[in-house]
A and B are shown apart, each in its own frame.
Chain A
Amino acid sequence: MRRTGSALGALLVLTASAASAAPEVQAEVDRSEVGLMDTFILTVRATNAPRGSAIQLPHYDGAEVLSTNRGESSFIQLGSGGPVIRQELTVTVILHPTRVGKLTLPPVELRTPDAVVKSNPLTITVRSAHVGGAPPAAGAHRPNMMPGFPPGFPDLEDPFAALREREREAAGPHGENDLFLRSEVDKKEVYVGEQVTLSVWIYSRVDLSQVSNEKFPNLDGFWTEDIESPTSIVNEPRTVNGVPYRAALLKRKALFPMRAGTRELEPAEMDATTGFLFAGRREHRVGNPLTLKVKPLPPGAPAGFVPANVGSFQLTAELSSSTAELGSPVTLRVALQGQGNMKEVVLPRATAPAALKLYEPTSQERISAVRDRIEGKRSQEYLVMAQQTGTFEIPPLSFSYFDPESHRYETVRTQPLSLTVTPGEAGALRAAGPVGGVPDSVRNVLPAGALRPLRLEARFSTPTPVWRRPLFVAAAVLPPAAWVLLSLVGVVRTRRARHDPVSEQRRGTRAARGRLAAAARLRTSGTDGAFSEEVERAVTAFLEARLGAGLSGLTRDALRQRLTEAGAPAALVEGAARVLDTCDAVRFAPGAVRLSRQTLLLEAERVLEGWQ
């Protein structure tokens, strides 16, 4: 239970009333007319509320809630049913109209465990100009008699005004207007990653001696950075609706939203001690909620853009020296300076040719708030150790960011940096190096593993797989095809020859020649009988082939006649008869015939060659 106001302590009231009163809720405003720049106070009071009741404020369309203050007191009511605990609830709301015209404040609900009780609706007229009868403020209606001094400063016309004011302040706040909390943001609409500054102020018209138990809004979803956190109350004069106040800053933070959407910042709360010493009083105050619209970054981000890079930045890169000796390091310094969430921006990573070895960088940052904006400088230093002699270029670095002022993506680039590495003085090397050689750090290192160079000549042809080459297919298929074809032709010819007389003649002639050849082989080695038998067979086979019929059973005369009828030359007919007669004679009278094998062979050859 919050303890607020001047009369909301716990009361124990014993009454003898027999009747149990029904809960009631009433709402009232302190004015019927108000200016657009004025504030007014809505007071809601609920009586006879049973235990567990609560007042529910509606949404005020046309008015902004600046402050809400709740109070509560309890008492025991004795009735016929026994003692009953009753509550009296009070809510005081400071409102600020946001539009001109009739402003209707909807009924306030009292929610009890059993029912909902509604208050009366209220209507208030809102004028564009300031309306007299603003919340009473001592001296506010009086002209400032001390030009150059803030309003409310004691004037000389009323020398007791200051005294009365001190008495009034020492007595504590007379209402919510005398002491309230106010949260402010410098922008209500920002991009993701863009800074918005949140300030929490306490406004008072009483002596404020201490602020404690501050509870600031939950800032999940934001990167936050403290800008100001005063350790003591430092007042500055401020005027609200023409009423002078002393305002003290309690907290100022830089917020960097991480997600897009509408974000509700809940109100801040705190306890304030007013007055001095034993006259001091403790008051609890709740501030106003805030709504923040966080827009997503527009599309079209350049490559390599990191969402935290929102703000305005400059990028620089420099080498500590443009020349170095082998073994002597140089420093590459990359620095990013500007406004934005400096702790989260991502610096581009430096690269270098293989001849330059870059060691892991060391980082430094300097962040400060200047005119409530977070700005600073982040830098990284790389130790560069040359591995080879020559002139090498460190490529330029680029950094892309979104500038919320221009609503555009920007890219800043550094210039390429050139570093010339020399082998150094040979004498110095000898002097500095260990005995027996040069230290590794000062050698011209030529590592393996670099890319092989390009080819300088080209043949513009892509080899085709061998099975897709026509020549291959032809060379693989044609030889067997030709062989198969030839075999088929041979088979066909053989089959045809079986039924062809001419072919049979040829075949018979061939066979006869074969036998004659066999006889020729027997001419010198075999017996007369074997020789003459082969010759007879050869001639007989020839004649049978020519005549197309067998010769067995034919006499010599019949043979002569058949041969003559078949068109055989007469010399051949006689020659054939002589050969056959000679062979018969050798066979049947081997001793009676003197055989000339050569002569018989020639005679037989003449027969075979003489009838084509």
Chain B
Amino acid sequence: MSALLLSLLLSQVSYSPAEAHAIFAEGVEAYGRDDTAAAEAAFRKLLEHGMGGPDVEYNLGTAELAQGKLGEAVLYLERARRHGGGADVDANLTIARGRVVDQVVGASGEEGMVARLVAATSSLGAGLAFLVPWCVAFALLLVLRLRGGGASLLSGAALLLLVSLPGAGLVLAHYVVGETVHEAVVLARTLPVRETPEPSSKVAFELHAGSTVRLLAPAGAFVRLRLPNGLEGFAEQRDLARVDDAQAP
């Protein structure tokens, strides 16, 4: 019991930056000598101790992909993409998705312009595009209020407020998508998707490791999910991993 508590305590202790960099280097070195399992263990250890980030996630996803663990590979590469991405992330994610067994036929493009816009932009960029004109506009209004002034100050402030509107819309889109759209990756080798949230329910279809689904609503141990082509069903939550839950290693 005490050993369990000790190990639990140790697992919560964060690494110092030097320790984290040493473990990261160990993982890279293990991958270099084709010991992908050891590399995976090193990167996973960093994540478990809160030392994440797109670099660790990319390396972990790549090590998983080298071992043929498609579910984990897609999960961590997707997280790396959302946390910063990069050409290497996109390349390996494309390879991983290409190996997924499931092919969703008749995808209706339900994502829409908003989701695509969000996927194509970063929330930080959107925030800056909004904040800069917004703050300057109010600074002008304050000056106008305190010192008085001509119509030029007022029109300048109005123009800046107008310029900040697209940025504000983009931030709002990021917020809505980030807070309401939850995606998950199938980790199980085969995941039966059932008609109702019951273990004995009829299996509507099966998914396989690496497929990405949208989570709609939890239902006990199950969760209702939807595919891009509109197929829906219930699957056990333990076989899925949320992409936006970066705290879960």
Interface residues of A in 428-458 (CB under 8 A from B): 449, 451-458
6 nearest A-B pairs in the assembled complex, by CB-CB distance? A479-B138, A466-B127, A458-B55, A452-B88, A460-B51, A466-B123
Could you say which residues of chain B place their CB within 8 Å of the CB of A455?
A: 28, 55, 58-59, 88
Binds B, one of A361-369, A481-489, A495-503, A594-602: A481-489
Contact between B175 and A465 (Cβ–Cβ < 8 Å)?
yes
Q: For the side of the interface on A, what is the size category? A: 20 to 34
A459 at the interface (CB under 8 A from B): yes
Contact between B53 and A454 (Cβ–Cβ < 8 Å)?
no
Could you say which residues of chain B place their CB within 8 Å of the CB of A472?
A: 127, 131
Alpha-carbon distance A467/B130, docked complex (angstroms): 12
Interface residues of A in 63-119 (CB under 8 A from B): none
Contact between A483 and B174 (Cβ–Cβ < 8 Å)?
no
Could you say which residues of chain B place their CB within 8 Å of the CB of A459?
A: 53-55
Also in contact, A451 and B66, with CB within 8 A (given A457-B55, A487-B145): yes
7 A-B interface contacts by CB (under 8 A): A454-B28, A458-B55, A459-B54, A461-B52, A462-B52, A467-B178, A479-B137
Interface residues of B in 172-194 (CB under 8 A from A): 174-175, 178
Alpha-carbon distance A466/B177, docked complex (angstroms): 13
Contact between A460 and B17 (Cβ–Cβ < 8 Å)?
yes
Also in contact, A483 and B20, with CB within 8 A (given A452-B92, A466-B171): no
* B25 closest partner in A (C-beta): A456
Could you say which residues of chain B place their CB within 8 Å of the CB of A558?
A: none
Q: Mark B1-37, 1 if CB is under 8 A from A, else 0.
A: 0000000000000000100110010011001000000
Alpha-carbon distance A449/B95, docked complex (angstroms): 7
Contact between A458 and B134 (Cβ–Cβ < 8 Å)?
no
- Tell me how far the C-beta of A573 lies from the nearest C-beta in chain B, rounded to whole angstroms: 35
B126 at the interface (CB under 8 A from A): yes
B146 at the interface (CB under 8 A from A): yes
Contact between A467 and B123 (Cβ–Cβ < 8 Å)?
yes
Alpha-carbon distance A177/B147, docked complex (angstroms): 131
* A482 closest partner in B (C-beta): B142
Also in contact, A483 and B83, with CB within 8 A (given A451-B62, A462-B246, A467-B123): no
Contact between B246 and A467 (Cβ–Cβ < 8 Å)?
no
Also in contact, A460 and B46, with CB within 8 A (given A465-B178, A483-B138): yes
Contact between A454 and B56 (Cβ–Cβ < 8 Å)?
no
Contact between B92 and A451 (Cβ–Cβ < 8 Å)?
yes
B156 at the interface (CB under 8 A from A): no
* B93 closest partner in A (C-beta): A452
Contact between A454 and B31 (Cβ–Cβ < 8 Å)?
yes
Q: Mark B189-230, 1 if CB is under 8 A from A, else 0.
A: 000000000000000000000000000000000000000000
Interface size on B, residues (CB 8 A): 48
Also in contact, A467 and B171, with CB within 8 A (given A451-B66, A452-B62, A455-B58): yes
Q: Which of A452, A460, A480, A483 contacts B52 (CB 8 A)?
A: A460
* B177 closest partner in A (C-beta): A465
Also in contact, A454 and B145, with CB within 8 A (given A460-B46, A466-B174, A483-B138): no
Q: Mark B58-71, 1 if CB is under 8 A from A, else 0.
A: 11001101100000
B interface residues with partner A (beta carbon < 8 Å) = 17, 20-21, 24, 27-28, 31, 39, 46, 51-56, 58-59, 62-63, 65-66, 83-84, 87-88, 91-92, 95, 123-124, 126-127, 130-131, 134-135, 137-139, 141-142, 145-146, 171, 174-175, 178, 246
Alpha-carbon distance A250/B205, docked complex (angstroms): 52
* B24 closest partner in A (C-beta): A458
Also in contact, A486 and B146, with CB within 8 A (given A452-B62, A460-B53): yes
* B137 closest partner in A (C-beta): A479
Alpha-carbon distance A214/B105, docked complex (angstroms): 58
Q: Kindly list 13 other residue pairs between chains A and B, CB separation below 8 angstroms, not including A454-B27, A460-B46.
A: A452-B88, A454-B31, A454-B63, A455-B88, A460-B17, A465-B123, A466-B124, A466-B171, A466-B174, A467-B127, A476-B131, A479-B135, A479-B138
A390 at the interface (CB under 8 A from B): no
Could you say which residues of chain A place their CB within 8 Å of the CB of B24?
A: 458
Alpha-carbon distance A487/B146, docked complex (angstroms): 10
Contact between B138 and A458 (Cβ–Cβ < 8 Å)?
no
Could you say which residues of chain B place their CB within 8 Å of the CB of A482?
A: 138, 142
Could you say which residues of chain A place their CB within 8 Å of the CB of B146?
A: 486
Contact between A458 and B53 (Cβ–Cβ < 8 Å)?
yes
Contact between A463 and B51 (Cβ–Cβ < 8 Å)?
no
A490 at the interface (CB under 8 A from B): yes
Alpha-carbon distance A457/B52, docked complex (angstroms): 13
Could you say which residues of chain B place their CB within 8 Å of the CB of A466?
A: 123-124, 126-127, 171, 174
